Structure 1
Amino acid sequence: MYLKTLHLRSFRNYQDQRVDFSAPKTILVGNNAQGKSNLLEAVELLATLKSHRVGRDRDLVLEGASAGQITATLERKYGVADLALTVRTQGRRTVALNQENLKRQLDFLGVLNAVEFSSLDLDLVRGAPERRRSWVDSLLIQIEPIYAHILQQYNQVLKQRNALLKEIKSEHSLSKSQDAQLTLWDVQLATTGSRVTRRRARVLKRLAPLAHNWHASISGKTEILEIKYAPNVSLEDDDPEKVQQAFLDKIQQRRLPEQIHGTSLVGSHRDEVEFTINQTPARAYGSQGQQRTLVLALKLAELKLIEEVVGEPPLLLLDDVLAELDPLRQNQLLDAIQDRFQTLITTTHLGSFDADWLKSSQILSVQGGNIK
């Protein structure tokens, strides 16, 4: 797939900016806080409908405007797709595909695929379990868009169930009607949670060997990376009924502590993804260099997996990461990309790139929300 044009209107610090991409690699160069990352964020939003930087749409809209818009033209094997996303300071966002407004945002997902790698991704190793769950979920949404709906269902059930548990805790008792309601929510949590857990397990099973091979290559086979999925409800196999029953069994075991704490202690919202290097937890013992190598291996594995599933190479968005990598890892990354993936790279200077890379790249200067 190839992103041909991107047009930003009242988005972040861009008033009205169109970019035409004319090479497989585009380098966005400029000082910090000029808008380089904002452009990559716009592409990420078209791919996942999420930003890894903010959670509210109002933060994406240019100050003083009531709405911001991202439009793009994407070339894929099956033809050209026109994408449009409008975000508002108040009210719901809207999406359009080929000039047709879509009722379901789900139908917008999976048209553009992209993998983003930024300095914030070190949190994948060092951060809380929520960060790793979010990473797996974002990958799943791109290769299996229906997962966005499944995850939304689970989160809605979890919210309702937690509200009931909070009510039970505040009253220090469990009425008959509350007991009946809780039983219904238990079934709902088990049903939706088992769908989330099974899909996370499947995608990590496919991703792990790819990441393992990349990691071995980057580290010169001196380090062995293992990725282990540690779901809150353990999986014996992928059978939907058995997984659902395992959920229900564990919920029954934890029913009293949940009522005491007033929150759900069982479910997919408590899953963990564990990374080990040479059988040592990367989070606790990995050096910063090792952690960067791990994240780089994960991102290259994501690229490969998306390409395998969708049948086309996704876009690669590199947000000021070359400066974070030593020369060896830089070369590994640049060699892996070559011309296979359309790549958008932000940087404050061009010193990290060799002459051949610069020669085959489109170089754009970004200054105060203007691109030249």
Structure 2
Amino acid sequence: MYLSQLTVADFRSYRSAHLTLSPGATVLVGANGVGKTNLVEAVGYLGSHTSHRVSQDAPLVRFGQDRARIGARIHRGSRAVALELEILPGRSNRVAVNRGAPVRAREGLGILRTVVFAPEDLALVTQDPGGRRRFLDQLMVQLRPALGEAAADYERVLRQRNALLKTARQQGRWGPEEEATLAVWDEHLSMAGARLLNGRLHVLQLLAAPLRQMYAALTNGSKPATFAYESTVPGVSGTHQQVPSVQQIAAAMRQALEDAHEQERARALTLVGPHRDELALFLGPAPARGFASHGETWSLALALRLASYDVLVADDPDPDARPVLILDDVFAELDAARRGRLAGLVSRAEQVLLTAAAVEDIPEELHAVRVLVRQDADGSETVAETADHPLPVEGDIRRARMDPEIPDDGPSPAAEDDGPSPAAEGGARDG
């Protein structure tokens, strides 16, 4: 799988931009702040409907505008698909496929698969459990897009259940009516939570071996990388050689919620469910969080992303279906030995997109096409050069003064959403 064209309009710092791409490795090189990361972020967002930099859509839209567009021509073997996503903060995002009528953004999931590694991923190792839960859920939805509905249902029911607990405490009232309503939310939350947990545990089954292999390959086998899932739902914690059924998880979660009613009423908060769970990471016997060195943290975070790439490849063994691999500003933090090992690992991808502040940071083993991103008062001037000789490419990236246009062979603009509705899938470091 690879992109031959990328077009953005009113995305981040770009009024409009058009980038021509090819299979293999392409590195966007330029000083900090010229927009390299914005372009690879657009590719990642088109594939997953989430940003690796922000959790909300509003920062993705150029200041003063009410929407942004990302378009691409995506190739899978001999087939090509034109895909465009319109980002509408505060409303439902829309997607158009092959210049067709705009539909819900979720309908476009799975057309483009991407795996993104960026400096923000250090938080997967060093920060609170929320980032690790999001990592699991995003990979789960890439594997099984229908489970995005389960995650959305769970969040909706969780908000309503918490609202009931909070209102009851504020009003100082808890009677048969509130108890009956809570029981209804218990049932809905248990079923949605069980689907979400079952999906997460299946992902962890698939992830365990690739994570060990990727970390060992990056570090020359210094320490084994492992994990354990820690859940508030009985019977769900552990390393999971076998995954409980949805029905088993739902029954356990329902009972745990009932047992926690008194404590939840006192705190006005739901204390049981996948929103409270942790993915604990280990290097050898020690927890990675708080004990890993800076180099080990980088390697473990990178191994998580490379392992997720392997999981997606194994899910669809067609060589033409391999995800686009995106590495944002990664090589500068690695020593020469790890750079070389990483170059060998990523060469399996049909297309690799990289960013770097200096050409010297990119290992020669990648044989990457270099796209130099420079910015002047009017926008960006771009030159692509191979490792052997420079090759000027006129207009590969533009920040045009004219109104943005999608190229003829690309996707058509998605239509405007008529009415307000909750923001759809997705959620930004200007680099």
TM-score range, shorter chain: over 0.9
Residues 232 and 272 in structure 1, CA contact (< 8 A), matched pair in contact too: no
Q: Secondary structure at the match of 2:216?
A: helix
**Secondary structure of the corresponding residue to residue 226 of structure 2:** strand
In 2: Cα distance, 1:356 partner to 1:200 partner: 36
- The one-letter code of the counterpart of 2:335 is D
| Equivalent-residue separation in structure 2 for 1:328 and 1:116 (angstroms) | 22
287, 298, 302: which one aligns with 2:304: 298
CA distance in 1, matches of 2:343, 2:355: 14
Q: Secondary structure at the match of 1:16?
A: strand
| CA positional deviation for 1:335 | 0.7
Match of 1:130 in 2: 130
Match of 1:169 in 2: 169
| 2:140 partner letter | L
Report the RMSD for the aligned CA atoms in angstroms: 1.6
Give the distance between the partners of 1:164 and 1:332, measured in 2 at CA. Answer: 53
Q: Which residue of 2 aligns with 1:281?
A: 287
Question: 1:38 and 2:38 equivalent?
Answer: yes
Q: Which deviations, in whole Å up to 9, do the C-alpha atoms of 1:262-311 show, x marking residues without a partner?
A: 01001110111011111100002111111112112212111111111133
Equivalent residue letter for 2:149: H
Paired residues for 1:320-359 under 5 Å: 320-338=329-347, 340-357=349-366
The runs of 5 or more residues in structure 1 that have no matched partner are none
The corresponding residue for 2:370 is 363
Matches within 5 A, 1:173-212: 173-212=173-212
TM-superposed deviation, 1:16: 1.7
Calculate percent identity across the aligned residue pairs.
31
Do the aligned partners of 2:132 and 2:278 also contact (CA within 8 Å) in 1?
yes
**Paired residues of 2:46 and 2:112 also in contact (CA < 8 A):** yes
Alignment of 1:39-58 (within 5 A): 39-58=39-58
Shift, 1:364, TM fit: 1.1
Structure-2-length-normalised TM-score: 0.82
Pair 127,7 (structure 1): closer, same or farther in 2 beyond 3 Å? same
1:208-254 Cα distance to aligned partner (Å, 9 max, x none): 11111122222222311111112221336522222111001111111
> For 2:25 and 2:183, how far apart are their aligned partners in 1?
55
CA distance in 2: counterparts of 1:190 and 1:66, whole angstroms = 38
Range with greater deviation from structure 2 (71-80 or 97-106): 97-106
Q: Secondary structure at the match of 2:52?
A: coil
Q: Deviations over 1:300-325 (max 9, x none)?
A: 11111111113321111111011111
> Map of 1:312-327 to 2, 5 A cutoff?
312-327=321-336
- Give the secondary structure class of the aligned counterpart of 2:4: strand
Structure 2, unmatched stretches of 5+, are 237-242, 383-431
Q: Retained in 2: the 8 A contact 1:143–1:310?
A: no
Higher helix share: 1
Q: Name the CA shift for 1:298/1:90 in 2 (closer, same or farther; >3 Å).
A: closer
Cross-structure match for 2:261: 255
Question: Equivalent residue of 1:59, what SS?
Answer: helix
The structural deviation recorded for 1:135 is 0.7
How far residue 49 of structure 1 moved from its aligned partner, in angstroms, is: 0.7
Partner of residue 94, structure 1: 94
Matched-pair contact (CA < 8 Å) for 2:93–2:104? no
The 2-side partners of 1:132 and 1:283 are apart by 12
Q: TM-score, normalised by structure 1?
A: 0.95
Cα 1:308–1:78, aligned 2, differ >3 Å: closer, same or farther?
farther
Q: CA deviation at 1:78?
A: 6.7
CA displacement at 1:356 relative to structure 2: 4.9
- Distance in 2 (CA, whole Å) between partners of 1:67 and 1:239 is 42
Flag the structure with more relative contact order, 1 or 2, with Cα contacts below 8 A and sequence separation at least 6.
2
Aligned to 2:249: 243
In structure 2, distance between residues paired with 1:22 and 1:325: 26
| Contact 1:102/1:108, CA 8 A, preserved across alignment | no
Amino acid at match of 1:332: R
